[in-house]
Amino acid sequence: MAEQGLKARRRPRDQRRGKFVSLPNLLTYFRILAIPALVACFFVAADWGRWTAMWIFIAAGVSDFLDGYLARAWKQQSVIGRMLDPIADKLIVAAALLMLAADQTIAGWSLWAGVIILCREILVSGLREFLGTLAVPVPVTALAKWKTVVQMVAIGFLLAGSAGDKIWPYTTVFGLTLLWIAAIFTLYTGYDYLRAAIAHLVTEKD
């Protein structure tokens, strides 16, 4: 009986440990660990540094799709996964945009596109946290998903940057164009979330 009781106490801990090291969560950890590697690529003067940064970012984007898909398919969704997944996404996007700005791949008026995207990410994160405390769900809209796709493709082209221009002269220009499109989507979806939050606050006040 004592052994059975001990096994019963250990099982929940083992289940939590299993969720902590599940493949979907490992993919999320990979995205976070990939950030310093991506940043380091910008300190390499050779073209292979830009190509490596691009492939790291692409691998992070693929892992973002896979961790959500596998978590649902294998029923391995966890609290830590739900917490870290959006954080990992925003961190690697922010790191990439900041390094591209420092590298002057994004410069002049195009900096505004990066600022809009970063501000929206902070705004939506704050709204999600606030509304989460009120048990108000904030579903991801179809347009927000398209925004994410366009944004990731734009950053991928910009990471190739000058190295990509040697193969296709319009690599950087194409990336900047997509970045502006993503910024326009960002303004609309950010306003959509803000409007939903304001409507809830007005209802609560009434």
DSSP 57-109: HHHHHHHHHHHHHHHHHTT---HHHHHHHHHHHHHHHHHHHHHHHHTTSS-TT
Q: How does DSSP assign 119-146, residue by residue?
A: HHHHHHHHHHHHHHHTT---PPPHHHHH
pLDDT tens digit sequence for 14-60: 455 556 778 888 999 999 999 999 999 999 989 999 999 999 999 99
pLDDT value for 105: 97
CA distance 23 to 67: 7
The whole-number average pLDDT for the span 188-193 is 80
pLDDT value for 6: 47
Question: What count of other Cβ atoms lies within 10 Å of the Cβ of residue 188?
Answer: 13
The whole-number average pLDDT for the span 120-138 is 73
CA distance 13 to 9: 7
Q: Which residue has the tokens 């996404």?
A: 89
pLDDT tens digit sequence for 137-189: 666 778 888 999 999 999 999 999 999 999 999 999 999 999 999 999 999 88
Residue 92 or 122, more confident: 92
Give the pLDDT band of residue 2 (cuts 50, 70, 90).
very low
Give the pLDDT band of residue 116 (cuts 50, 70, 90).
very high
Domain ranges of the chain: 1-80, 104-206
Region of 22 (left: φ > 0; alpha: ψ -120 to 50; beta: rest) is beta
pLDDT value for 161: 96
Residue 113 or 125, more confident: 113
pLDDT value for 13: 54
Region of 161 (left: φ > 0; alpha: ψ -120 to 50; beta: rest) is left
Give the pLDDT band of residue 61 (cuts 50, 70, 90).
very high
Residue 195 or 48, more confident: 48
The whole-number average pLDDT for the span 92-106 is 96
**36-75: b (≥16 Cβ within 10 Å) or e:** eebbebbeeeeeebbbbbbebbeebbebbeebbebbeeee
Q: What percent of the chain has pLDDT over 70?
A: 82
Q: What's the mean per-residue pLDDT of the chain?
A: 85
Query: For the chain, what percentages of helix, strand and coil (3-state, to nearest 5) are there?
Result: 85, 0, 15
pLDDT tens digit sequence for 62-90: 998 888 888 888 888 887 878 888 889 99
Token readout for 191 is 């306003």
Cβ-contact 105, 171 below 8 angstroms:
no
CA distance 42 to 124: 29
Give the pLDDT band of residue 3 (cuts 50, 70, 90).
low
